[in-house]
Amino acid sequence: MLKKTSNLSCTALLVFTVLVITKMTGQNDSIRSWRAGDHHIHSKYSAGYDTSTTPPIYNFEEQPYSILTNAEKAKQYGLDWMVATDHGGPNHAKINLENAYPELLKSREKTPEVIQFHGMEFDAPSADHNSLIIPHSDHEHTLLYEIESQFATKDVFPRQPERETEEHMLKAITYMKNAKTPPVLISNHPSRGADSLFEYAHKEPREFRNWNNLAPNVAVGMEGAPGHQAGNLKPDGSLDTTDSRPYGNQTMGGYDQMTAYLGGFWDSMLGEGRRWWITATSDSHTNWRDGGSDFWPGEYSKTYVYAKKSYDDILEGIRNGRIFITTGDLISELEFKAAYKNKVAQIGGTLPIQEDADVQITIKLLDPDTVNHHGDNPQVNRVDLIVGEVTGKSSDLTLDHNFTTRVEKRYYAEEMKREGDYLVMTYLIKNAHHSMYLRLRGTNNTYELEPVKDHTGENPWDDLWFYSNPIFLEVK
């Protein structure tokens, strides 16, 4: 006769099992921790078309990698999650449904260590490319098919002018917002095509505000660090002094100018109190070793989300800005807290305070004492605490400046306190009489107080940065 097990024994057994799994894997998937990922990855389903026929015929052989290859590389380079984001042309919605999605299901089976979202690089009406992340569900494939077939600019042949208008994009976002499981939309390479700072090509501040006004739970942000960062690496690893990273002169320290310029567009959005987050991706098409301009997913850029290792919690973390981003594995953990009385807010969060409050800031980061995928062990040489006032929504949809933004405090290496493997910094914001946001950036760079425009022939591994998303302080 079997002896009945007590509830206490069951609890002890469960705790013991969790401890064993944590010890074996180094991480407990059921609790929140920093999970590295990439939401902008291409496979053979982003290939081109044979335009000599009508309609054009899809060419599956133009791109070299499968979804499974990308997932295996994501695992190799330390990612916990990824999004398959192929783009296309005529009838690509059907290709995603009938070809890419079944391959994604097989990839999930063969590489279960990596959470793999269904998605696409949405060729948005009037707005170029955007990562579309579909929530994991039994109908994820049909939701993506419905969105792409109805709204993607290039899915119809011949092209329809009405599909290429801002009005059609707002219809698409309305459709997403009203879906049973609303997706997440993140603008890719927002400044690509721009001729200079504060000039815009495919995407403008007005469009981002309109999207965010309409569906703040869908249109949540933009790539802070775009992909194609290996654009000037030759297959032997040497530098091509005639090329740049990643696209012309619109990046600063590898980050899009709409993010990197202090007091620029991103700060204007945060100054309105908008929860507008930034991410980092590979935009992997063809690896630099194979003659392309890209790193593998996780090889150079990582988007860290504070989440359980589950589809729902990772996507919820992205929606709510529990994110920091880094290049070159400069850091691998970041604790950034604002505390007032008995309340604490962290990255992506909001701390209510009274007028003239003193707010304690704590920064704790892990600068791993290991080599990155270039064989370097980069050191954090400076951390900047950046603040800006929150003044509320602006009636000017074209706004791209926040003149209140400033570096409140610079921490150099000698000012950082070491606690075990972590670097710790503290700061007291005194008499906070305005609502404000706080954000961080840090670098291995020892000679630039502000990131400068990337130049031709620059080695991407020599100029590394990390950025946090903000904490908001709201004066009540």
CATH number of the domain bearing residue 105 = 3.20.20.140
Which of 274, 250, 245, 275 lies closest to 261, judged by CA? 250
Residue 248's pLDDT is what?
63
The answer as to whether 46 is a domain residue is yes
**Is the full-model pTM beyond 0.75?**
yes
Domains held by the chain: number:
1
**Could you tell me whether strands 129-134 and 184-187 are parallel, antiparallel, or unpaired per DSSP bridges?**
antiparallel
User: Looking at this protein, which amino acid is placed at residue 240?
Assistant: D
DSSP string for residues in 146-169? HHHHHH-TTSSSS--GGGGSHHHH
Residue ranges making up the domain that contains 52: 27-475
Residue 410's pLDDT is what?
98
How many separate helices (H) and strands (E) can be counted in the chain? 10, 24
Can you tell me the distance from the alpha carbon of 472 to that of 388, in angstroms, rounded to the nearest whole number? 10
Which residues, at least 6 apart from 240, have a Cβ–Cβ distance to it below 8 Å? 232, 233, 234, 457
Which helix (H) or strand (E) is 140 found in, with range? helix 140-151
The answer as to whether 199 is a domain residue is yes
The answer as to whether 13 is a domain residue is no
Can you tell me the distance from the alpha carbon of 400 to that of 263, in angstroms, rounded to the nearest whole number? 8
**Could you tell me whether strands 277-280 and 219-225 are parallel, antiparallel, or unpaired per DSSP bridges?**
parallel
**Could you tell me whether strands 115-123 and 129-134 are parallel, antiparallel, or unpaired per DSSP bridges?**
antiparallel
The answer as to whether 15 is a domain residue is no
The answer as to whether 20 is a domain residue is no
CA 187 from chain centre, in angstroms, equals 10
Asked if omega into 102 is within 30° of 0 (cis), the reply is no
Which residues, at least 6 apart from 260, have a Cβ–Cβ distance to it below 8 Å? 224, 251, 252, 253, 451
The answer as to whether 117 is a domain residue is yes
Can you tell me the distance from the alpha carbon of 35 to that of 183, in angstroms, rounded to the nearest whole number? 20
The answer as to whether 106 is a domain residue is yes
Can you tell me the distance from the alpha carbon of 93 to that of 150, in angstroms, rounded to the nearest whole number? 9
Q: What would the pLDDT profile of 288-344 be if each residue is shown by its tens digit?
A: 999 999 999 999 999 999 999 999 999 999 999 999 999 999 999 999 999 999 999
Digitized pLDDT (tens) for each residue of the chain, 476 residues in all: 333 334 434 444 443 433 433 444 456 899 999 999 999 999 999 988 988 888 898 888 777 899 999 999 999 999 999 999 999 899 999 999 999 999 999 999 999 999 999 999 999 999 999 999 999 999 999 999 999 999 999 999 999 999 999 999 999 999 999 999 999 999 999 999 998 899 899 999 999 999 999 999 999 999 999 999 999 999 999 999 988 888 766 899 999 999 999 999 999 999 999 999 999 999 999 999 999 999 999 999 999 999 999 999 999 999 999 999 999 999 999 999 999 999 999 999 999 999 999 999 999 999 999 999 999 999 999 999 999 999 999 999 999 999 999 999 999 999 999 999 999 999 999 999 999 999 999 999 988 999 999 989 999 999 999 999 999 999 99
Residue 183's pLDDT is what?
98
- CA dihedral sign of residues 49, 130, 132, 337: positive
The answer as to whether 2 is a domain residue is no
| Polymer length of the chain | 476
